[in-house]
Amino acid sequence: MLNKKQIRYCLDVMAEMFPDAKGELIHSNPFELVIAVLLSAQCTDKLVNKVTAHLFLKYKEPEDYLAVSLEELQQDIRSIGLYRTKAKNIQKLCKVLIDEYNGEVPRTKEELMTLAGVGRKTANVVASIAFGEPAIAVDTHVERVSKRLGICRWKDSVIEVEETLMRKVPREEWSVTHHRIIFFGRYHCKARNPNCLECPLLELCREGKKRVKNV
C-alpha cells in the first residue's frame, strides 16, 4: 500500500499528465447532466454524447420526457445499452422531480440518490460537476487505478474505495482528482493494455511491476 508521500506524488504526476481533466459528458444544465450520467452506465461517454446531441433538442424539461410514451423514449435512446431500463428510470426520475422538487434537480447527494437510476456514483458526479460539491465518484477507471497503484486494497468494495480516497486525498482536491484518475485510467492505465513501460508511476505501482516482469 502506498504511503501519504507516495500518494501525493501520484496525484501530482496525474495533474501534470492531465491538467485539464474534466467530465466529458456534454450538457448545459444539471438536469441534462443527470440524464447523461444515467445513460452512461456501462456505456462510453462518446456514445452518450452522440445520443444526447439529438435527445436534448427534443426533451428540454422533465415534463417533456413524460409527454411521450415509454416506447417512443426507448426508441430515442435505443443505441445505448440497457435502453429499456434506462428509459423507465428516466420517466420515473422526471415524475419525482416534478412531484417533489418543483422540476429542479436536488443539490445534495442524499436527495439525488432517491431518484430512479441514480446510484452513489451518479449522485457524486452530479453533485460535483453541477453544484461544485467536493466528491469522488468511483467508476470502473477510478476503482481499477486505485487498486493497481496500491492506494486501495484489491478486496475493497466501491464504497471502501471511495472512503479510502476521501481519507487520503485533500478534500479540496476530491473533484479534480476524480477527473484526473478517470483520464489516467481511460487513456493511459487501460483495463486490457495498460501503458506500464512508459508510465511515470511504474516504480510505485505493484501491478505495473508485475506486468513488466512478465513481459
Q: What is the pLDDT of residue 213?
A: 86
Domain end marker among 82, 111, 131:
131
CATH number of the domain at 176, please. 1.10.1670.10
Q: Which domain holds residue 84?
A: 30-131
| Segment 166-180 mean pLDDT | 96
Q: Which residue has the higher pLDDT, 88 or 206?
A: 88
Mean pLDDT, the chain, rounded, equals 95
Contact 96, 116 (CB under 8 A): yes
- Give the pLDDT mean for 188-192: 95
Confidence class for position 181, pLDDT limits 50, 70, 90: very high
Exposure string of 161-180, with b = 16+ CB inside 10 Å and e = fewer, is bbebbeebbeeeebbbbbbb
pTM to 2 decimals?
0.90
Q: Residues 76, 86, 109, 121: which is the catalytic one?
A: 121
Are 40 and 25 in contact, with CB atoms under 8 Å apart?
yes
Number of domains in the chain: 2
Segment 152-173 mean pLDDT: 96
Q: What share of the chain in percent tops pLDDT 90?
A: 97
Give the domain-ending residue among 76, 107, 131. 131
pLDDT at 202 over 70: yes
Q: Catalytic residue at 121?
A: yes
| Annotated active-site residue in 76, 86, 109, 139 | 139
The domain that contains 77 carries what CATH number? 1.10.340.30
pLDDT in tens, 58-106: 999 999 999 999 999 999 999 999 999 999 999 999 999 999 999 999 9
Q: Are residues 98 and 158 in the same domain?
A: no
Annotated binding site for [4Fe-4S] cluster: 189, 196, 199, 205
- Residue that finishes a domain, picked among 64, 99, 131: 131
| Pair (121, 41) in one structural domain | yes
- Residue stretches of the annotated binding site: 189, 196, 199, 205
pLDDT of residue 127: 94
Q: What is the pLDDT of residue 215?
A: 64
139 is catalytic: yes
